[in-house]
Structure 1
Amino acid sequence: MANTPHPFETLTPQRVVESIESLGLWLPGEPFALNSYENRVYSVTDDDRRRWVAKFYRPGRWSDAQILEEHAFLAELAEADVSAGSVWADANGRTLHEVDGFRFSLFAHVSGQAPELDNPEHLFALGALIGRIHAVARSRAFDQRPVFDIPSMVEESRERVVGARWLDARQRQAYERTLDALAPLMQARAWPASALQRVHGDCHLGNMLGRDDRFALVDFDDCAMAPAIQDLWMLLTAQTPEEWQMQLSEVIEGYEESIEFDRRELEWIETLRTLRLIRHTAWLTARWDDPAFPRAFPYVAESAYWDQHIRTLEQQRFALDDSRWLV
């Protein structure tokens, strides 16, 4: 019996166009697929030369309530004049649409390039942007979005990875042993519930666009309840104490134009880094039925990848015990 095709395999360019045009827009050209794996995202231009980003949500990932909570957050940011890729609403105020089982939304196109994290002006501007976002974010909490909880996130990732078909017995044993050692170290450097707030959740370079020192943060698909430092630590990429302190100083100075930053949160950076490493590999294994993943990440099916992943996690045991330039 033939395998059931993944839903995204049926999302043809024609289907994308027809879905968007069902909202009353006309697209004279073809959609251009953007670099996205979790969802399917396209750049489109309507007959008024307005540029849009159409996001087709991965079936079964988020509930309607979770997606609409993301959109409500974006509406708050737009009201506060914060650059965050606003979502389009139809005449009835709907931001989430559905055609043939595909849920999708349209977002205002944001132009520009990724920032340079060795540029102090860019770091200051990014800190200022995230500070403005967090000033709005702290006004209320998410009810539907995920919460950064170490035990549940680590256990979910463990279940996905140990069930993957690529690990041999030795690797599976080593992986579980490493997670058993990491979990208490992570918990010892965990955040209290009082530190949780609404965050973007995935502040990597691909989600920051702009020119000069004016940037926007886009794609709030991973927004969650987490400590504020979750949206800042990936900006700190330096490999020496002096450069790291420079980056931190610029980011925090920009951030505190809008809101105070609790520097005690710096102690959670390695915990969050470890959590991201664990969850990223679990995500790759969980999405392997999507044909885009074997094409983009073929190395996941190789034994060497798993040996390296386990070594990287083992190294995080030492990083969790090291303050890493925090003073």
Structure 2
Amino acid sequence: MSNHPYSNLTPERVMDAVESLGFFCDARIFALNSYENRVYQVGIEDQPPVIVKFYRPGRWSRACILEEHEFLLELQQQELPVVAPLEYQQQTLFSYDEFLFAVFPRKGGQAPEISDEDELELLGRWLGRLHTIGESKTFQARPRIQGAADLEQAAEQVLQSGLMPPDYQAVYRSLVPDLVTELQQHYPATTRNIRLHGDLHPGNLLLRDETLFLVDFDDCLLGPAMQDIWMLLSGGRQEQQQQLMAIAEGYEMFRRFPADELPLVESLRTLRIARYAAWLSQRWQDPAFPAAFPWFTGHQFWSQHILSLREQLAALREPALELPTFNF
């Protein structure tokens, strides 16, 4: 029997938590695909189902979560297509036993085809508006991207976990300082930070009734605007620059496109690769992780991980992506 806190989150407790807000559940509960938190669709008598998110105990403080909610409500008030938490008695964050949880409206939909230039231009418009709002205030409790310091922290987590096979540790230890040196050069401490989505990969986009929603702000943070742009790019250098042009065309309708941040792209990509391995190692005591990622402790994953980091070291030494001169 697992002693992880989520092992206590039974269907009965999920319903009890929801009913503590005055709802009447109809006993239809479906677990949704989420590893960091636990998320359920819960049926409500005589009302549409709701989505209930139980935050991972010990991860975010109450202040951090409330800043996420405040940001979402602010974006929703400005008519951006986001899914904000529902308010009950003027609150959005609730507690039940050891869990903090929030309730969201259900939004069905499908993943968009973001290789289409029209979709990229639309995304650019949403991001231009999001970042305009994001720079109007700042976060006080949520983290910020710190460049080389984040890489060092991720590497320390990986090594301390003991999950990397011993025969990869020496090459990993020798590679990390070189990456740190490159990030120190390519990710300056003076980088401008604004409020961001923070994890805007295609899986966090939802197309519903011809509206493109930006979902899952669980990792919202302070960082450069480019953090919300680079993960939308794919393919070779020429393809990425064409995609940047489409995004920039929409973005420039609301905010100057941050072309000066393009040299940060490979640093941000390196951080994501390093932090992914650190995240898995940090969560390995949660039984859901070994079940979902059984390959994580195998040689194939770590061989590919180190190869990816080596490729990033080379990419950091190459010329940055460029955006051709344009006028809108």
Instruction: Report the TM-score, using the length of structure 2 for normalisation.
Output: 0.94
Q: How does 1:18-57 map to 2 (within 5 A)?
A: 18-57=16-55
Q: State whether residues 78 and 86 of structure 1, in contact with CA within 8 Å, keep that contact through their aligned partners in structure 2.
A: yes
Tell me if 1:317 matches 2:303.
no
In the TM superposition, what is the alpha-carbon distance from 1:286 to its structure 2 partner? 0.4
Structure 2 unaligned spans of 5+: 324-328
Q: How does 1:121-270 map to 2 (within 5 A)?
A: 121-193=118-190, 195-211=192-208, 213-241=210-238, 243-270=239-266
1:262-308: per-residue Cα shift (whole Å, max 9, x none)?
Answer: 20111111000000000000000000000010011111111222122
Match of 1:279 among 257, 262, 275: 275
In the TM superposition, what is the alpha-carbon distance from 1:67 to its structure 2 partner? 0.6
- The change in CA–CA distance for 1:212 and 1:48 in structure 2 (over 3 A counts) is closer
Q: State whether residues 96 and 105 of structure 1, in contact with CA within 8 Å, keep that contact through their aligned partners in structure 2.
A: yes
- The change in CA–CA distance for 1:76 and 1:191 in structure 2 (over 3 A counts) is farther
Match of 2:86 among 81, 85, 88: 88
For 2:280 and 2:191, the matched residues in 1 are separated by 31
Tell me if 1:289 matches 2:285.
yes
For 1:185 and 1:317, the matched residues in 2 are separated by 8
- The change in CA–CA distance for 1:192 and 1:167 in structure 2 (over 3 A counts) is closer
Q: Residue 206 of structure 2: SS of its match in structure 1?
A: strand
Q: Residue 267 of structure 1: SS of its match in structure 2?
A: helix
- The change in CA–CA distance for 1:175 and 1:264 in structure 2 (over 3 A counts) is same
RMSD: 1.6
For 1:70 and 1:110, the matched residues in 2 are separated by 19
Q: State whether residues 166 and 303 of structure 1, in contact with CA within 8 Å, keep that contact through their aligned partners in structure 2.
A: no
Q: State whether residues 50 and 105 of structure 2, in contact with CA within 8 Å, keep that contact through their aligned partners in structure 1.
A: yes
For 2:188 and 2:109, the matched residues in 1 are separated by 35
One-letter amino acid of the structure 1 residue matched with residue 315 of structure 2 = A
Q: State whether residues 262 and 321 of structure 2, in contact with CA within 8 Å, keep that contact through their aligned partners in structure 1.
A: no
Q: State whether residues 17 and 30 of structure 1, in contact with CA within 8 Å, keep that contact through their aligned partners in structure 2.
A: no
Q: State whether residues 113 and 119 of structure 2, in contact with CA within 8 Å, keep that contact through their aligned partners in structure 1.
A: yes
One-letter amino acid of the structure 1 residue matched with residue 280 of structure 2 = L
Deviating above 4 A after TM superposition, structure 1's stretches of 4 or more consecutive aligned residues are: none
- The change in CA–CA distance for 1:317 and 1:109 in structure 2 (over 3 A counts) is same
In the TM superposition, what is the alpha-carbon distance from 1:183 to its structure 2 partner? 0.6
* Percent of pairs with identical residues: 41
Q: State whether residues 32 and 41 of structure 2, in contact with CA within 8 Å, keep that contact through their aligned partners in structure 1.
A: yes
* Match of residue 58 from structure 2: 60
In the TM superposition, what is the alpha-carbon distance from 1:213 to its structure 2 partner? 5.0
For 1:4 and 1:235, the matched residues in 2 are separated by 38
1:6-59: per-residue Cα shift (whole Å, max 9, x none)?
Answer: 111111112111111110112214221111100001122322432322110000
The farther-off stretch of 252-261 and 141-150 is: 252-261
The farther-off stretch of 161-170 and 63-72 is: 161-170
Instruction: Report the TM-score, using the length of structure 1 for normalisation.
Output: 0.94
Number of residue pairs the alignment of both structures matches: 323
Q: State whether residues 125 and 214 of structure 1, in contact with CA within 8 Å, keep that contact through their aligned partners in structure 2.
A: no
For 1:21 and 1:120, the matched residues in 2 are separated by 45
* Match of residue 98 from structure 2: 101
For 1:104 and 1:193, the matched residues in 2 are separated by 36
Q: Residue 134 of structure 1: SS of its match in structure 2?
A: helix
- The change in CA–CA distance for 1:44 and 1:255 in structure 2 (over 3 A counts) is farther
The farther-off stretch of 156-165 and 40-49 is: 40-49
Q: How does 1:102-121 map to 2 (within 5 A)?
A: 102-121=99-118
Structure 1 unaligned spans of 5+: none
